[in-house]
Amino acid sequence: MPILWAILVFIPSNMAKKEEKTEGYGAEDIVVLEGLEPVRKRPGMYIGSTGPEGLHHLVWEIFDNSRDEAMGGFADHIEVALLPGNRVRVVDNGRGIPVDIHSKTKVSALETIMTTLHAGGKFEGKSYKVSGGLHGVGASVVNALSVFTEVRVHRDGVISMQEYSKGKRKAPVKKVGTTKFRGTIVTFEPDTEIFKEIDFSWNQIVSHLRQQAYLVKGLQINIIDASKYEGKLKLDDVVYMQDLGLEVPSMTFYFDGGLVSLIRFYNQHQKPVHKNICYVEKEADDVVVEVAFQYIDDISSRELAFANNTYNAEGGTHVTGFRTALTRRINDYARKNNYIKENEDNFTADDVREGLTAAISVKLREIQFEGQTKGKLGSVEARGAVEKVFGEALGVFLEENPEDGRAIVNKVILALRARKAAKAAKDSVLRKGALEGLTLPGKLADCQSNKAEDSELFIVEGDSAGGSSKQGRDRKTQAILPLKGKILNVERARLDRMLASVEIKSLVVALGVGIGDMFDISKLRYHKVIIATDADVDGAHIRTLLLTLFYRYFKQVIDGGFIYIAQPPLYKIKRGKELTYAYSEEEKNLMLGKDAGEIEIAGEGTEEEPEEIEGEEEESAKGKKREQKVSIQRYKGLGEMNPEELWETTMNPKSRILKQVTIDDAVDADKAFDVLMGEDVPARKSFIQSNAKLANIDS
């Protein structure tokens, strides 16, 4: 009490000196947000962002409620449908949300759940022993950020319905019919005031829900894309849209194998190092632990982490427990069988993780995530449980499967040797750089600015493009690094071989972030790294090789939003004295209109005599009508543009077009790089054949 009194006495005398600074600040200035207003005011606090990830997070929140019903054994079928008008519909055959009056809120339990933050059946652990949602904000947040939400509950033979807009009910819950079905149907339409661009990704939704089907054995998940369906959908009369027999894209997933099936799926285009997949499912300290893993002939690792079936992109305590047990058990096995001699060092965590594909899933009654988006598990008990359960299971697996154990240890030994060789090569490069004063590569035309946030690095193809871009750039903020030919495909190349490439070393030094265990994103010298290659097959190949390099060794640069793709024009069009540029075939045809089919395109890199087009007339100096001349030049590469053209079309921040490189789903991106840049030729051929119709052919 004396301390509190001292504070109360001290504050007035102190504030008297600052009275002029606090004038106009009183109780009336304190804003109190009621209901779901905080969600609409600060949506990023609840769904991470209002971009594509946040938009899809709405789908996951509603799906997770249905999935939690399945995890509890109350449902075995969920359907997610994309509807016309940016609407999404999620159906489950669970128990159905209660609709009776809640004792505290004096309104129905359904309305309480949908319109009140931190209201749900997952706090006491009575209705749900295990659930992905724990804060009681999922459904209400989706409701708050949607311009339209409708919930239909099939329960006790009655259909109850309530509709909402921007988190507020439009009318009380009402009975709208009878039913033999049991479950919940939620339909929502995101608010365009919150989400400036609403574009649900079919591939992203399929990928996410496929993953969920692996995690809940015996759960059937249907996905339907009726977003472009032009017919009448009488959804009030139907439960599952799959029963309508619509000719629209759809997928169905059902797996009994759990995580073992998931590992087989991700390794389907890989060469396994050992035959059997190590798998365990067991409870310890009130935590259900499920782990599966297999090594493949690769240098990268894949660890998929889940807590209560929620994907944890940033890992967490369960991943820490897994890595600790993996490193310890493999070292114990290797020493016991004399793979590691008495005077030799143990394998490191990086050694034992090379080429690993693993899935780690835990289920807890009381779960703690770091943030509402649940990207990282924070529950301390998960680490000990995973370390104990998986450690014991791995020890048994290695003893009972000696051939698999031998293959795994030999794989780790190769990783250790490669790590040491790569470290020697890296140290050699760094020592050499130190002798040279860490000078930037001679081919780099650096910018004058020392502020990374203002600086841009253009990676261009060859000396010709390098010459034009160096002359056309803004020297204050734009640096140019020309690369000669196609760089090394690093998909399966180790660090020592990679650093032997002159072109890659030049890029590494220019970026300034280091590589491997010395990587430091804070030292990035440019906050825009722009890949500017030619608009032909070779240019696309070089761009893919560079993206592979960034994804495998500089992923944080992509994650930080620092990588861009330049979009140079394909055509220069002259109509009389008017000069325009077209960046695609469609844009060119739109500019030329009816004349598109009558103009002969000048040869690549040259400009022929303009073709005369009938019907296009302009006034001459003498007042007589004359035909206007139109010419078009096709650019093959940046080197064919003069510095002024290159600046105007590709480098000028006020007029250029840049595409930012993002990773929407790291697992799918990883798989795509494996297929396209790896050694599985049949898989690559199949991918190309399946996606050939999506390609833009450069004729």
The CATH number of the domain holding residue 204 is 3.30.565.10
Q: At 328, which helix (H) or strand (E)?
A: helix 317-336
Enumerate the β-bridge partners of residue 222.
Answer: 79, 252
pLDDT score of 249: 94
Token duo for residue 71: 């995890």
Shared domain check, 264 and 410: yes
Which of 231, 253, 275 is where one domain is finished? 253
Whether residue 189 lies in the annotated active site: no
Shared domain check, 542 and 679: yes
Shared domain check, 491 and 547: yes
Instruction: Select which of 92, 351, 461, 665 is catalytic.
Output: 461
Whether residue 680 lies in the annotated active site: no
Instruction: Select which of 61, 534, 640, 648 is catalytic.
Output: 534
- pLDDT at position 548 over 50: yes
Mean pLDDT of 582-610: 64
Shared domain check, 492 and 525: yes
Which structural domain range is residue 303 located in? Answer: 259-420
Shared domain check, 309 and 367: yes
Mean pLDDT of 330-337: 96
Tally the domains of the chain.
3
pLDDT score of 220: 96
pLDDT score of 676: 64
Across all residues in the chain, what is the average pLDDT? Answer: 82
Whether residue 491 lies in the annotated active site: no
Confidence of residue 133 (pLDDT cuts 50, 70, 90): very low
- pLDDT at position 150 over 60: yes
489 exposed, middle or buried (CB, 10 Å; 0-12, 13-18, 19+)?
Answer: middle
Lowest mean pLDDT among 10-24, 473-487, 575-589: 10-24
Answer yes or no: is 33 within a domain: no
Residue 652 corresponds to which amino acid?
N
- pLDDT at position 315 over 90: yes
Mean pLDDT of 142-167: 95
Answer yes or no: is 429 within a domain: no
Which tens digit of pLDDT belongs to each residue from 22-58? 455 444 444 444 567 888 888 888 888 899 989 999 9
Radius of gyration, alpha carbons of the chain:
30
Answer yes or no: is 649 within a domain: no
Q: What is the CATH number of the domain that holds 310?
A: 3.30.230.10
Confidence of residue 447 (pLDDT cuts 50, 70, 90): very high
Confidence of residue 19 (pLDDT cuts 50, 70, 90): very low
Lowest mean pLDDT among 132-146, 197-211, 479-493, 515-529: 132-146
421 DSSP assignment: H
* Dist. CA 236–CA 152, nearest whole Å: 9
Place of tokens 């009194």: 5
Answer yes or no: is 21 within a domain: no
Which of 219, 253, 287 is where one domain is finished? 253
Instruction: Select which of 350, 538, 607, 680 is catalytic.
Output: 538
Give 251 or 573, the one with higher predicted confidence.
Answer: 251
Q: What is the CATH number of the domain that holds 551?
A: 3.40.50.670
Shared domain check, 300 and 161: no
Which of 200, 228, 253 is where one domain is finished? 253
Shared domain check, 69 and 192: yes
Nearest CA to 40 out of 168, 194, 163 is that of 194
Token duo for residue 684: 């690559």
- pLDDT at position 633 over 90: no
Whether residue 538 lies in the annotated active site: yes
Answer yes or no: is 281 within a domain: yes
Confidence of residue 630 (pLDDT cuts 50, 70, 90): confident
pLDDT score of 58: 94
Shared domain check, 512 and 446: yes
Instruction: Select which of 37, 303, 332, 536 is catalytic.
Output: 536
Lowest mean pLDDT among 230-234, 323-327, 476-480, 590-594: 590-594
Answer yes or no: is 22 within a domain: no
Shared domain check, 264 and 247: no
Answer yes or no: is 8 within a domain: no
* Cβ count near 264 (within 10 Å): 17
Shared domain check, 473 and 389: no
Mean pLDDT of 236-262: 91
pLDDT score of 122: 45
pLDDT score of 121: 47
Which tens digit of pLDDT belongs to each residue from 48-89? 889 998 999 999 999 999 998 998 889 999 999 999 999 999
51 DSSP assignment: S
Shared domain check, 238 and 361: no
- pLDDT at position 692 over 60: no
Answer yes or no: is 456 within a domain: yes
pLDDT score of 46: 84
Beta strand residue intervals within 133-277, DSSP E: 146-155, 158-165, 168-169, 174-178, 183-190, 220-225, 250-253
Shared domain check, 404 and 495: no
Which tens digit of pLDDT belongs to each residue from 392-445? 999 999 999 999 999 999 999 999 988 887 777 666 655 554 334 446 787 899
* Dist. CA 657–CA 275, nearest whole Å: 49
